[in-house]
Amino acid sequence: METNPIGVCELLVGLPDVNVLGVVDDAGAPIVLHVEQRSLRPECPACGRDAWLKDRPEVLLVDLPCFGRPARLVWRKHRWCCSVSSCPMGSWVGVDGRIAASRMGLTDRAGRWVTVQVGRHGRSVAEVADDLGCGWHAVNDAVIAYGAALVDDDPDRVGSPTALGLDETLFARQGPWRRQAWSTQIVDVDRGVLLDVVAGRDSSEPSRWLAGRSAAWRDQIRWATLDLSSSYRSVFDTMLPTAVQVADPFHVVRLANTTVDEARRRVQNETLGHRGRKTDPLYRSRRLLTMAEERISVDGHQRLRGLLEAGDPNGEVRMAWHAKEVVRQIYAHTDPDVAAAWVGDIGRDFCDPSMPIEVRRLGRTIKRWADQIIAWHQAHVSNGPTEAVNNLIKRVKRVAFGFRRFRNYRIRALLYAGKPNWDLLATITPH
Ligand SMILES: [Zn+2]
């Protein structure tokens, strides 16, 4: 047991090689510890002569709460200068990354702690800042600096996937016009791990990212999953020419749901001359229409039939709804040949002139992507992982109320959905 008062104090403060100069304990305010490095006079890094102490700048840092109270650390630093006036070294300040990384408003231990809270547990920056009794920016800067090191300095994090997926995500609305800012997520579809996020949803950034991997890494990818986007198709055509392209079922079904929605809104407008209102039968049917048929109760079926009879005089919404269910059926087939025939039939039947315009458009898209849609039955890469990653990212965005800066979004998404090796957190150096 340590009984020497100085030793006890240093043990409680828990920082290596520091002298505790004092503690300020004002009621209602954070407890403030004053410390300095226990350092000997250094030599000049340039010429090796003695250094002189120039002055003692103080830095105020946010530390971890101490015995239930917010805490601050005042680090009384040493600014040294070379004793040789002609030496180009000038002056420098003593640093110790174990106390705090340079230009950081948090101590090192607080920085690592907030990274876990926000990055791993998905808490909001505001909430964690509240725990520490400090500002939002101090916490956010630390999460991004430590987080960037954790996701970018670990060469093993990306691993060697055999199935790779590209998927667009809206990460922010920017400026006075709330312009949509898009990004592309790159997913290991086998493991359901977010590998990276790049800016934009055209082909340039995903291609550049893939070009940054080794040829061997690209060669091992056998399956390339995508939504029905021609830019991602061109990424794979160019960068992964031997991988089999697979249309993600999640997106195919979502497109079919959008088709029902569009048909409903058009018919709504044509029959009533206005957009959906609460009492309109078609508007009231919108949830039931995009629900999977087998999940609708007997009552629900009856209600849907009634609403469509009231609001869909030519049966166009019903046809679109039926088309959606037919598209969903693609994935109920387990035999690749049967599925291929099914997709072929869709491409033909949906384009029939008797079909509503939205269904014909869906039919043309399915025809254009038939190979990729059918490939799913060979690949059997599940759509679960893409959806799982999407859900994780949605959570990150909800917690953060949208992101202003792409870099923040990328790091936060990777910390939460990119399965970083948290064991490395203790050893990384913040960026
Ligand atoms: Zn010098």
Tell the residue number behind the tokens 């009552």, with chain if given: 299
> What mean pLDDT is predicted for residues 26-39?
92
Looking at the chain, the whole-number percentage of residues with pLDDT higher than 70 is 99
Least confident range from 142-146, 203-207, 224-228, 259-263: namely 224-228
pLDDT at 383: 64
Check pLDDT > 90 for residue 252: yes
**Cα–ligand 1 centroid distance for 372 (angstroms):** 67
**Cα–ligand 1 centroid distance for 90 (angstroms):** 7
> What mean pLDDT is predicted for residues 203-211?
97
**Cα–ligand 1 centroid distance for 96 (angstroms):** 21
Q: How far apart are CA 70 and CA 113, in angstroms?
A: 14
**Cα–ligand 1 centroid distance for 33 (angstroms):** 33
Check pLDDT > 90 for residue 260: yes
pLDDT band at 382 (very low <50, low <70, confident <90, very high): low
Check pLDDT > 80 for residue 324: yes
Q: How far apart are CA 32 and CA 58, in angstroms?
A: 13
Q: How far apart are CA 375 and CA 158, in angstroms?
A: 25
Looking at the chain, the whole-number percentage of residues with pLDDT higher than 90 is 70
Residue type, 139: V
Residues whose CB falls within 8 Å of the CB of residue 372, separated by 6 or more in sequence, listed in order: 226, 228, 233, 245, 246, 247
Residue range 58-107, pLDDT digits in tens? 999 999 999 889 999 999 999 999 999 899 998 999 999 999 999 999 99
Q: How far apart are CA 208 and CA 50, in angstroms?
A: 50
**Cα–ligand 1 centroid distance for 56 (angstroms):** 19
Tell the residue number behind the tokens 């039919």, with chain if given: 363
> What mean pLDDT is predicted for residues 112-128?
96
Average pLDDT over the chain reads 92
> What mean pLDDT is predicted for residues 118-146?
95
| Residue of 24, 19, 115, 10 lying closest to 69 (CA atoms) | 24
- Contact call for residues 171 and 183 (beta carbons, < 8 A): yes
Paired tokens of 131:
């725990």
Q: Where are the domains of the chain?
A: 5-151, 249-379
Burial class (CB in 10 A: 0-12, 13-18, 19+), 332: exposed
**Cα–ligand 1 centroid distance for 39 (angstroms):** 18
Residues whose CB falls within 8 Å of the CB of residue 228, separated by 6 or more in sequence, listed in order: 247, 251, 252, 255, 365, 369, 372
**Cα–ligand 1 centroid distance for 74 (angstroms):** 29
